[in-house]
Amino acid sequence: MPKNKQILEGSRAISQVIRNINPAVVSAYPITPQTHIVEDLARLKAAGQTDFAYVRAESEFAAASIVLGASASGVRVYSATSSQGLLLMAEVLFNIAGMRLPVVMTCANRSVSAPINIWNDHQDVMAVRDAGWLQLFAENHQEAVNQHILAYKLAEKLQLPVMVNVDGFILTHSYEAVEIPSPTLIKKYLPDYQPLPGTFLDPQNPVTLGAFFTPSHYFEVRQALHEDLKNSLETIKKDYKLFQKIFKLSANRTTVIKGQRQIDNGLIEYSGPKNPQTIIVALGSVVGTIKETLKNEPKVGVLKIKVFRPFPGTEIKKYLERAANIAVVEKALSLGQAGPLYTEIAAQLPGGRNNLRNYIVGLGGRDVTVKIIKQIIKDTRHKNNSLKFMGKI
């Protein structure tokens, strides 16, 4: 293993990179499986290894409000949460986006109640997908580290909040080899935050944030937020390319299927043959299991969605048009409809020209195995219902 790599728990890898990014204010409320991240940040603060202000909060709603206020004062901030904690933050999340504050937050993805369950799926983040945040998804520890650095770059350039999603327990509590870029190297890519005048509260330059807007003005503000989110796709690609140039590390690489091509532009990553018979679309850590399965499936590729909001529909469509069969595999369900990712994909493929199927897996932490992925690949070759629940006991 290279000397500059360490074996770290995913939560500790995240806390280490946040320390090196050096926000001014950190506030969070502990909730499983996010707790190890903020515990480690509190420990670093107590040991005098960082100088950020660590503000304890009585709830996730309070923690989100604290980083909102700190960001509004013009400093770099950080928070983390999960599941019910994210839902408790929902009101504040909409305010953060609407006020155009560059808050960065980690969501350790976990199922939502009821019934109570502490294991991983993506129902929490999908419940707030329309809050106005950029949403990134990590496959593994290294990608989680990389995406937090990228998140601050994007947030501060675009004046938009960014949420980095890491699968609870699967990534937060497991150990992998990971490289944590030094503060010096990070600063080459991410300079100290210098907010523009008029974007933060300053007695010398008074502004109003989060004002009361009548119908005469509210419409245009929300439209502008939507358009800025959509337009950020090109910025994400550009800044990801710069990231790859500066961080000339194994940090830039994710798992590659031997003998297959890989294309990664920061929005999506495709691994597989040039002309696949089947493409599996997924996000998060399940992509690692899919890649392991595809080592013995030379006609099948995997399209990993790295950015879910804004949705990179045009980029995705380019790859899906090549395949006869498309399987959208996801750990979330829009109750009464279908999987949220499937719904987005279907909107990019009008007319039903492709054999598009939706497979719901892993709800409440149910294992997603190589056997299940093989069953999905086989199932896509037959005409069947568009929605299936896979992996039931």
pLDDT in tens, 214-240: 999 999 999 999 999 999 999 999 999
pLDDT in tens, 34-90: 999 999 999 999 999 999 999 999 999 999 999 999 999 999 999 999 999 999 999
Residue among 222, 211, 209, 229 at smallest CA distance from 70 = 209
Classify each residue of 285-300 as buried b or exposed e, where b means 16 or more C-beta atoms within 10 Å of its C-beta: bbbbbbbebbeebeeb
Average pLDDT over residues 359-363: 98
Residue among 253, 187, 185 at smallest CA distance from 2 = 253
Average pLDDT over residues 150-163: 98
> Peptide bond before 13: cis, by omega within 30 degrees of 0?
no
The CATH classification of domain 6-246, taken from the options 3.30.465.10, 3.40.50.970, 3.40.30.10, 3.10.310.30: 3.40.50.970
Paired tokens of 13: 């890898």
pTM of the predicted structure, to 2 decimals: 0.96
Q: How far apart are CA 196 and CA 159, in angstroms?
A: 10
With 0-12 CB in 10 A as exposed, 13-18 as middle and 19+ as buried, what is 215?
exposed
Average pLDDT over residues 79-106: 98
pLDDT averaged over the chain? 94
Number of Cβ within a 10 Å radius of residue 376: 24
- Would you give the distance in Å from CA 265 to the centre of its chain? 15
Q: How far apart are CA 345 and CA 139, in angstroms?
A: 20
What one-character DSSP code corresponds to residue 112? Answer: -
Q: How far apart are CA 248 and CA 94, in angstroms?
A: 36
CB-based contact 164:107 (threshold 8 Å): yes
DSSP per position, 143-158: HHHHHHHHHHHHHHHH
pLDDT higher than 90, residue 261: no
Decide if 6-246 and 261-389 have a common fold.
yes
Paired tokens of 11: 């939560």
Give every CB contact of residue 31 below 8 A, 6+ residues apart in sequence.
60, 81, 82, 83, 84, 85
| pLDDT band with cut points at 50, 70 and 90 for residue 382 | confident
pLDDT: which is higher, 251 or 184: 184
Structure-token match 């790295």, residue found: 306
pLDDT: which is higher, 382 or 263: 263
pLDDT higher than 90, residue 171: yes
What are the residue ranges spanned by the domains of the chain?
Answer: 6-246, 261-389
Q: What does CATH list as the number for 261-389?
A: 3.40.50.920
